[in-house]
Amino acid sequence: MNIQKNRHMEILANVICGDCRNELPKMASNSVDLIITSPPYADRRMKTYGGVNPNKYVEWFLPTTKELLRVLKPTGTFILNIKERVVNGERHTYVLQLILEMRKQGWLWTEEFIWHKKNCYPGKWPNRFRDAWERLLQFNKTKKFHMYQDAVMVPIGDWAQDRLKNLSQTDKRRDNARNGSGFGKNISHWLNREKAYPPNVLHMATECSNKDHSAVFPEKLPEWFIRLFTKEGDLVLDPFMGSGTTLVVAQKLRRNSVGIEILPEYCEIVKNKVSPLVMDLLKVG
Amino acid sequence: MNIQKNRHMEILANVICGDCRNELPKMASNSVDLIITSPPYADRRMKTYGGVNPNKYVEWFLPTTKELLRVLKPTGTFILNIKERVVNGERHTYVLQLILEMRKQGWLWTEEFIWHKKNCYPGKWPNRFRDAWERLLQFNKTKKFHMYQDAVMVPIGDWAQDRLKNLSQTDKRRDNARNGSGFGKNISHWLNREKAYPPNVLHMATECSNKDHSAVFPEKLPEWFIRLFTKEGDLVLDPFMGSGTTLVVAQKLRRNSVGIEILPEYCEIVKNKVSPLVMDLLKVG
DNA sequence: GTTCCGCATGAATCGATAG
DNA sequence: ACTATCGATTCATGCGGAA
């Protein structure tokens, strides 16, 4: 990390009050490094956006994703948090159809992360268990997107604590057999390792205590993706800002951010939570 | 459990060697209580199944699902274990398309369980993390399917002891406020339970130590679904039997089973693992 | 009999090289 | 240009033998 650079970095958090379908067209093309959002699920928070039937959800959402594709940098990433509702005893298919239609728009469907909600809400139904997971769909504009994997490494599994200290002989021999001349370049890498790259399943407890907004994700979730797909000074966009978790986290991590929200009361709340302009004190000094 | 009934119950495990596309039409309609299978994934298991091109996968599989719909009882369930592979940097869409096409055949897409594989395949890539989950798609013929939830209840400590007990005061208060008639009461009921219903995320490690065959799913996985969707004496079908985990577990749980497998060597292995007819000794006495 | 340690090996994916 | 094969990368688990 370049300290000199940080001293002169100003971090902006911009709250735009309005419908993202109207506001996104005003944004510059190829300007956003990461879009992360949790849009109103069909028939839930949809009422604030006009109450769209699940069968109309894809049709309603596609104009927005088209604009998102335009504003995203070629190296950027779009993380979409979504889950299909149960309609008439079945999982609705709007998420599946949305993925297919977004690919027609030009999006690449790179990956699907699973958010495992560890403390999902209690409940019981005769033909269904509690829903403890949501989709985190990763879309990209090109295959050459930025990914900073080291920023989200996790402590290695428990198994290692007793066992890694004596490194597996297998790994040594595997390496030696493959490149006869090679010595253990990789082995030393292993020996010093205390952290591992995470898999595509995220275990995060939901935050139930937020009274301001019904559909928030926990701070850890945007934090993980912001660390993974952006660096300091980059620009993060949340077109369905809600209670503003994305902006708060982005500011904490020194990323610029733009949040768009249709409900004025949420806009006011978020404006009070974030400082529109954060300037490093050292810059003045 | 009715002991008298068990004394006179004969349990059959039937191994059919052949292509399920040829063998399924010979089976009676509305005869199976649970279908659980892990079909060959696209372009995987090339040596054993010849590999199916991802772009042809849906077309290849649909005739089979049509027959499965026919043989399933109206009260039965179909559990499909599948995962899309990465093609050209993107997740392929054949699973999404398969779900949409199966619904056109008449299937109801009731639920999607997540199998979280704790010991997923290692590896590192610049733009992707390790894949640690697979889909377990639940399809039904009607909304009135059998589900024996009590059979898969887990000790509460196993999954949520601390989380549920520490359920935030906010939630308890919120619930009481929402409907005075005792939703909060249900929570206290929950807290006092020793067992709880599981959610729709299953945590199971893959079994990697089996030498006879390439590992399929661990025994715990079919066991969980067999307990959940069948009772003793019911009929379980696995049209892509492979190494026969489903049949072995079904027999252990005293369910009748039919397994179809195209490779003779697997058929022989499974025939040696299961007894074609198990009769309770007490019946003779 | 426990506990500990060595070991093999998985429904993987990417990039480079070869036909 | 497009497909087929191969090497490199890497984490968690259960088994079996040893202390």
Tell me which of B196, B223, B250 is where a domain ends: B196
pLDDT value of residue B278: 78
- The pLDDT tens digits of the residues spanning A63-73 come to 999 999 999 99
Q: Is residue B35 located within the same domain as residue B101?
A: yes
More confident of the two residues A283 and A143 = A143
> Which phi and psi angles does A155 have, rounded to 5°?
-55, 140
A259 has which bridge partners?
A15, A238
Count of CB atoms situated within 10 Å of the CB of B7: 14
More confident of the two residues B242 and A44 = B242
- The pLDDT tens digits of the residues spanning A201-245 come to 999 888 765 444 445 678 999 999 999 999 999 999 999 999 999
Q: Is residue B85 located within the same domain as residue B147?
A: yes
Q: Is residue A34 located within the same domain as residue A66?
A: yes
CATH number at residue A138: 3.40.50.150
Q: Is residue A83 located within the same domain as residue A58?
A: yes
The predicted model gives A180-185 an average pLDDT of 39
Asked if strand D contacts B209 at the CB level, meaning under 7 A, the answer is: yes
Q: What range defines the domain where residue A176 resides?
A: 154-196
> Which of A127, A138, A214 would you mutate first to test chain B, the one with the most B CBs within 10 A?
A127
Tell me which of A133, A166, A196 is where a domain ends: A196
Q: How far is the CA of B46 from the C1' of C19 (A)?
A: 21
Asked if strand D contacts A49 at the CB level, meaning under 7 A, the answer is: no
What are the residues whose beta carbons fall under 8 Å from the beta carbon of B127, sequence distance 6 or more?
A110, A143, A145, A147, B89
The answer to whether A91 touches B112, Cβ cutoff 8 Å, is yes
Query: Could you give the 3-state DSSP secondary structure of residue B64?
Result: helix
More confident of the two residues B205 and B92 = B92
Count of CB atoms situated within 10 Å of the CB of B155: 11
Tell me which of A196, A229, A254 is where a domain ends: A196
Burial tier of A101 (Cβ tally within 10 Å: 0-12, 13-18, 19+): middle
Mean of all residue pLDDT scores within chain A: 85
- The rounded distance, in Å, linking the Cα atoms of A262 and A39 is 12
- Chain B positions touching A100 (Cβ under 8 A) are 93, 96-97
Angle, in degrees to the nearest 10, between helices B169-178 and B183-191: 140
Q: Is the CB of B148 inside 8 Å of chain A's CB atoms?
A: no
- The rounded distance, in Å, linking the Cα atoms of A117 and A136 is 12
- The pLDDT tens digits of the residues spanning B262-282 come to 999 899 999 998 988 877 655
Q: Is residue B32 located within the same domain as residue B114?
A: yes
The predicted model gives B185-202 an average pLDDT of 71
Q: Is residue B105 located within the same domain as residue B210?
A: yes
- The rounded distance, in Å, linking the Cα atoms of B216 and B143 is 30
B199 to A112: CB separation less than 8 angstroms, yes or no: no
Give the amino acid at A260: I
pLDDT value of residue A184: 40
Q: Is residue A57 located within the same domain as residue A80?
A: yes
Q: Is residue B270 located within the same domain as residue B256?
A: yes
B10 has which bridge partners?
B279
DSSP alpha helices (H): ranges in chain B? 3-7, 20-23, 46-49, 57-71, 94-105, 156-159, 161-165, 169-178, 183-191, 220-229, 245-252, 264-273, 281-284
- Residue A140 clears pLDDT 90, i.e. is over it: yes
- The pLDDT tens digits of the residues spanning A122-134 come to 789 999 999 999 9
Q: Is residue B31 located within the same domain as residue B161?
A: no
Domain tally, chain B: 2
Angstroms from B156 CA to nearest CA on chain A: 12
The answer to whether B236 touches B230, Cβ cutoff 8 Å, is yes
List the nucleotides on chain D closer than 7 A to a protein CB: 7-15
pLDDT value of residue A215: 55
Torsion, Cα of B202, B208, B214, B219 (10° steps): -40
- The pLDDT tens digits of the residues spanning A42-84 come to 777 777 777 788 999 999 999 999 999 999 999 999 999 999 9
pLDDT value of residue B8: 60
Torsion, Cα of B68, B99, A129, A211 (10° steps): -170
The answer to whether A130 touches B149, Cβ cutoff 8 Å, is no
Asked if strand D contacts B211 at the CB level, meaning under 7 A, the answer is: no
- Residue B193 clears pLDDT 70, i.e. is over it: no
Q: With bands split at pLDDT 50, 70 and 90, how would you rate the model's confidence at B190?
A: low
Q: Is residue B90 located within the same domain as residue B207?
A: yes
Q: Is residue A134 located within the same domain as residue A271?
A: yes
pLDDT value of residue B261: 94
What are the residues whose beta carbons fall under 8 Å from the beta carbon of B47, sequence distance 6 or more?
none
Strands lying side by side in the sheet with A235-238: A201-204, A108-117, A133-140, A72-82, A32-37, A235-238, A256-261, A10-17, A277-279
**Per this entry, what is the length of chain A?**
285
Q: Is residue B168 located within the same domain as residue B106?
A: no
pLDDT value of residue A166: 52
- The rounded distance, in Å, linking the Cα atoms of B268 and B265 is 5
